[in-house]
């Protein structure tokens, strides 16, 4: 397999973009990435999107977007793995370049979520759960993660304040990210006292509904070496599935797919978790980030709550997690999230992350997951 590098990144401001369509937000980000890479020609496109069918009544999405981008007749592939669709797109693009079949591949992620009502959005997101065993019996995602939170609190003593500290940290980081949907600081009290969604989760424990897109350009590492920008290689990719229904899991306080995907990606990169300087992870709910911290091995099992409380995962801590603001503050257009994580890591490794720059960062990791962990994608990025 050939070595693969990221040579361009693009992302625009996320939020409730009622005046823009899915294709326009995708094209904006894709054009930024193409401009950043300084390439004329792309050989192929891979697009991650969870449910354009339910959100905007459109499938056949990748061809539609290659057309919107005036890139027909390039091969255009859409992949779906619920909220990890973006990370999966990155992996497919990586494999395509690594295989030698294509040189320059545009990897994009997109979701347009605010053109439907709240209950329609809840239904669409619910299709990431096992509908026959969960959704059709009334479970929604806040409810599923609430069960995971209750179990984690009961077993390990994780506290309500620790959940809130995840949100506070990520909003602190997000306040320095001009592209974030909610670039505002919040307090532990504000989270604790925000409206309850599914006990113990409050509204400020939850990532928002967002319209947004993100894009990166991949090419062989030897081609990237001839360009002007710092070369950021993807040195590891890991992908794993798990049961979708929580009821089938051995342990609902543990994210096995994330642990496995991370182990594979790190082994491929020849790295240990201690070698990584920053992490962009899938904090769809505050409890998720706590569990991911454990699955990645940044904290011992059950100690993810303490890790955030002790500042281990803050931007100035030993293991900075979600310097971008994470899903919580940056927003969570589900199909775009995994690609946006790569955008942030590349900016950090290039030293282009502005006020939230982690000094001297040369190695970063993204962790993106679908549903309650039914799928997980982990990638390792390194600056040469």
Which residue numbers are catalytic? 83, 332
The half-sphere exposure of 363 on its side-chain side, counting CA atoms within 13 A, is 15
Count residues binding a second copy (CB under 8 A): 64
Write out the binding residues for a second copy, residues 238-297 only, by CB under 8 A: 239-245, 248, 256-257, 260
- Pick from 243, 223, 239: which is nearest to 231 by CA? 223
Virtual torsion, Cα 324, 327, 328, 330, nearest 10 deg: 50
DSSP SS3 for 181: coil
SS3 279: strand
User: For residues 99 and 196, which CB has a smaller minimum distance to a second copy in the complex?
Assistant: 99
Q: Which is nearer to a second copy, 105 or 204 (CB)?
A: 105
Which two tokens mark 168?
């506070």
3 state DSSP class of 340:
helix
Span from 65-73, 110-118, 137-145, 313-321 in contact with a second copy (CB under 8 A): 65-73
Residue that has been written with the tokens 């769809």 in this structure: 284
Of 36 and 130, which has the nearer Cβ to a second copy? 130
Among 7, 27, 39, 77, binds a second copy (CB under 8 A): 77
Residue number, 185 or 264, with CB nearest to a second copy: 264
- State which of residues 28, 96, 111, 294 lies at the interface with a second copy (CB under 8 A): 96
Closest CA to 234 of 217, 251, 259: 217
122 half-sphere exposure, CB direction, 13 A CA radius: 14
Number of residues in the chain: 384
CB of 91 to a second copy, least distance (A): 8
Q: Does 92 bind a second copy (CB under 8 A)?
A: yes
- Could you say whether residue 196 binds a second copy (CB under 8 A)? no
Give residues in contact with a second copy (CB under 8 A).
1, 21, 50-54, 56-64, 66-67, 71-82, 88, 91-92, 95-96, 98-101, 123-124, 127-132, 135-136, 239-245, 248, 256-257, 260, 370-371, 374-375
């Amino acid at each position: 397999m050939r070595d693969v590098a990221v040579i361009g990144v693009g992302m625009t401001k996320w939020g409730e973009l009622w005046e823009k369509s899915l294709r326009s937000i995708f094209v904006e980000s894709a054009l930024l990435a193409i401009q950043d890479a300084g390439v004329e020609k792309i050989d192929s496109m891979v697009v991650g999107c969870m449910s354009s069918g339910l959100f905007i009544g459109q499938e056949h999405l990748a061809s539609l977007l290659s057309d919107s981008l005036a890139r027909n007749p390039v091969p255009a592939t859409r992949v779906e793995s619920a909220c990890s669709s973006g990370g999966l797109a990155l992996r497919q693009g990586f494999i395509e370049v690594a295989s030698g079949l294509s040189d320059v591949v545009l990897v994009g992620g997109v979701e347009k979520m605010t053109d439907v009502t709240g209950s329609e959005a809840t239904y669409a997101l619910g299709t990431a759960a096992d509908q026959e065993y969960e959704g059709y019996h009334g479970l929604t995602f806040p409810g599923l993660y609430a069960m995971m939170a209750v179990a984690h609190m009961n077993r390990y003593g994780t506290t309500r304040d620790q959940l809130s500290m995840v949100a506070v940290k990520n909003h602190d980081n997000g306040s320095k990210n001009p592209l974030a949907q909610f670039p505002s600081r919040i307090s532990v009290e504000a989270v604790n006292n925000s409206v309850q969604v599914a006990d113990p989760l409050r509204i400020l424990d939850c990532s928002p509904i967002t319209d947004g897109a993100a894009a990166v350009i991949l090419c062989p590492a030897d081609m990237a070496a001839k360009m002007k920008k710092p070369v950021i290689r993807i040195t590891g990719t890991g992908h794993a599935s798990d049961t979708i229904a929580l009821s089938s899991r051995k342990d609902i306080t543990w994210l096995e797919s994330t642990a496995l995907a991370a182990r594979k990606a790190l082994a491929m990169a020849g790295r240990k978790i201690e070698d990584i300087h920053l992490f962009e992870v899938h904090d769809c709910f505050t409890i998720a980030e706590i569990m991911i911290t454990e699955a990645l091995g940044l904290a011992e099992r059950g100690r993810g709550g303490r890790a955030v409380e002790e500042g281990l995962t803050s931007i100035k801590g030993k293991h900075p997690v979600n310097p971008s603001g994470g899903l919580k503050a940056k927003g969570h257009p589900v199909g775009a999230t995994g690609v946006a994580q790569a955008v942030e890591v590349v900016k950090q490794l290039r030293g282009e992350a502005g006020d939230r720059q982690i000094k001297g960062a040369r190695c970063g990791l993204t962790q993106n997951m679908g549903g309650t962990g039914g799928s997980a994608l982990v990638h390792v990025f390194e600056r040469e």
